[in-house]
Amino acid sequence: MNKHIVGIDWGTSNRRAYLIDQSGACLAEHEDGQGMLAVGGRDKFGASLAGLLAAMQLPHDVPVILSGMVGSASGWQEVAYLDAAVPLVQLPQHLAAVTDPAWAGRCRIVPGYVYRAGAAADVMRGEETQLLGAIALGRRDGWIVLPGTHSKWVLLRDGVIQSFATYMTGELFAMLSAGGTLAAMMDGDSSDAEGFAIGLQQAARNEPLSNSLFRVRAGVVSRTAPAQLAAATVSGLLIGAEFAAARGAGQGITVIGSAALAARYDSAARHFGLPCTVLDPHQVYCSALSQFIQQA
Amino acid sequence: MNKHIVGIDWGTSNRRAYLIDQSGACLAEHEDGQGMLAVGGRDKFGASLAGLLAAMQLPHDVPVILSGMVGSASGWQEVAYLDAAVPLVQLPQHLAAVTDPAWAGRCRIVPGYVYRAGAAADVMRGEETQLLGAIALGRRDGWIVLPGTHSKWVLLRDGVIQSFATYMTGELFAMLSAGGTLAAMMDGDSSDAEGFAIGLQQAARNEPLSNSLFRVRAGVVSRTAPAQLAAATVSGLLIGAEFAAARGAGQGITVIGSAALAARYDSAARHFGLPCTVLDPHQVYCSALSQFIQQA
């Protein structure tokens, strides 16, 4: 009999579910806005999951793999972070069983990772699953970039995390657009090539962001720069800061992201002279799921 | 007869008025929340000013000097920026007469400054008046720091602006406290010495702010750092970025700011090994006003 599992990337604001078979083929996909915040409390995750399976017309006993913020202290069940030294291919051996009696035995949560460098720490939840998928697709070495609200830059060596850094790129862009000094001038196209390139150039100079951001405003009020470039310039400043900080990325980067975001990172990579390969996040996620199917 | 003038530092959210006599002595002071945003439109500034003079029990014909955002495109009347090369002591010759017939002849606006470096620009409105006051108090050379929502670092040489940079320190701190990933952990004391020092140390490493900010969160969720230090750490990251960017400030800095802010900058200056002198902003403003009294 062909075995199936459902994998759910259950984040803060959204969740996305994939049904795969033993060959790793994706048979069905479902996305909705029932992220961690919308579920409304720890004791509501079980019912929310049952609703998702029903919406996908799946049997109640299909094995389920969960990744993302669902495993955080504000999620269904807190799962301890793995240390970065644990090879990603060992993730299937570290799944945490959901203790809710209604789901025990057929629902497991993928642990996130913590990376410690001196007194500082960085964390991920959800991206480790994408990394496992990238490794399954042959990307065992070099920089993997997962752009978004909290962009991750992960350096892999032989399938093991050497280091990673998170940038609040998407969150800061949203905050600056929503209110404050810059918001009124940020209604232009944030992907405008000219404005984006201006931001990338400024980011390469490694000046403090709090200064570069104000200069976007100063450029507009002093009639030095047109207001319609401001949003793209801010995007370039934030994304450019990621590239400026990536040391030793001369070998190139692999970006796992939606078409729109990946295009923007590809453009930034060209600006910084880095070869860039793009992987489709759905394909990567399904590749990761196929690594879990024996454990599920 | 002893001549009097009123100076008003009319900002975005607040305004502060000072009555001085020819000797520069401050005879009265008034502060309220009738900043540019509260006034409610260009044609309402005259009535708002009349109300302020009435509240201070001053004659309607007292000469008035306005500085700050009141001279911006969103203020009473837009006044063109002066180029940074114009010596600050020449400010009294560049006052713009208010054209509103009810106030013409007795109300003038101090122009702001623009500083251009290549394709980039920075601007100030209001701080130029404080700089003139600092010069009148003998501070003609070195770094003048005006902390706040938009912190300014100004390098003076013989009373002329060599360069200046604005940092959105206060605004970013307020945004990050109000919402998003960090807000929930930012209810600790933002002036906590230990947390502030942690932020300063991280800022000195010149890593991207979007990464350093996320690490504050990562430290808390990975139980590496206590949540009650987060607010002070963020404050240290933002203020520390200003110090890390100040090149050649080995001679020390002069801070013009409220007691609470000045104490925080003084502490940061000690961390970065810089001598720091603090000037009282009210005294500095009245010193500037005394430079305008012949023109008013």
Asked if B71 and B180 sit in the same domain, the reply is no
Q: How many pairs of residues across A and B have Cβ atoms under 8 Å apart?
A: 131
Q: Is residue A46 part of a domain?
A: yes
Stretches in chain A below the pLDDT threshold 70: 1-2, 248-249, 295-296
Q: Is residue A42 part of a domain?
A: yes
Answer yes or no: is pLDDT of B258 > 60: yes
Asked if B127 and B206 sit in the same domain, the reply is no
Mutant choice from A176, A210, A214 vs B, greatest count of B C-beta within 10 A: A210
| Chain mean pLDDT for chain A | 94
Q: Do B167 and A73 touch (CB under 8 A)?
A: no
Q: β-strands B142-146, B107-109: how paired?
A: unpaired
Q: Is residue A147 part of a domain?
A: no
> Phi/psi class of residue B128: alpha, beta or left (left: φ > 0; alpha: ψ in -120 to 50)?
alpha
Q: Do B241 and A120 touch (CB under 8 A)?
A: no
Long-range pairs of A246-253 with CB within 8 A, sequence gap ≥ 24: A246/A143, A246/A153, A249/A143, A249/A274, A250/A274, A251/A142, A251/A143, A251/A275, A252/A142, A252/A143, A252/A276, A252/A277, A253/A142, A253/A143, A253/A144, A253/A145, A253/A277
Q: Do A166 and B218 touch (CB under 8 A)?
A: yes
Q: Do B121 and A222 touch (CB under 8 A)?
A: yes
**CA-to-CA distance for B289 and B296, rounded, in angstroms?**
10
Q: Is residue B142 part of a domain?
A: no
Kindly report, residue by residue over B195-210, the tens digit of the pLDDT: 999 999 999 998 999 9
Confidence at residue B296, expressed as pLDDT on a 0 to 100 scale: 63
Asked if A9 and A110 sit in the same domain, the reply is yes
Q: Is residue B203 part of a domain?
A: yes
Which residues on chain B are in Cβ contact (under 8 Å) with A206?
206
- Residue B246 banded pLDDT, cuts 50, 70, 90: confident
Kindly report, residue by residue over A151-160, the tens digit of the pLDDT: 999 999 999 9
Range of the domain at B190: 167-279
Phi, psi of B18, deg, nearest 5: -130, 135
Phi, psi of B155, deg, nearest 5: -100, 120
Q: Is residue A150 part of a domain?
A: no
Do A146 and A130 meet the contact criterion of CB atoms below 8 Å apart? yes
Q: Which residue has the tokens 């991920």?
A: A124
**CA-to-CA distance for B84 and A44, rounded, in angstroms?**
61
What is the count of structural domains for chain B? 2
Kindly report, residue by residue over B135-170, the tens digit of the pLDDT: 999 999 999 999 999 999 999 999 999 999 999 999
Q: Do A218 and B166 touch (CB under 8 A)?
A: yes
Q: Which two tokens stand for residue A5?
A: 């599992």
Kindly report, residue by residue over A167-209, the tens digit of the pLDDT: 999 999 999 999 999 999 999 999 999 999 999 999 999 899 9
- Residue-wise burial string across A72-85, b where 16 or more C-beta atoms lie within 10 A, e elsewhere: beebbbebebbebe
Kindly report, residue by residue over B58-91, the tens digit of the pLDDT: 988 899 999 999 999 999 999 999 999 999 999 9
Which residues on chain A are in Cβ contact (under 8 Å) with B172?
210, 213
Which residues on chain A are in Cβ contact (under 8 Å) with B245?
207-208, 211
> Phi/psi class of residue B144: alpha, beta or left (left: φ > 0; alpha: ψ in -120 to 50)?
beta
Which residues on chain A are in Cβ contact (under 8 Å) with B122?
214-215, 218
User: Which of B121, B215, B241 is the closest to A218 by Cβ?
Assistant: B121
Asked if A186 and A131 sit in the same domain, the reply is no
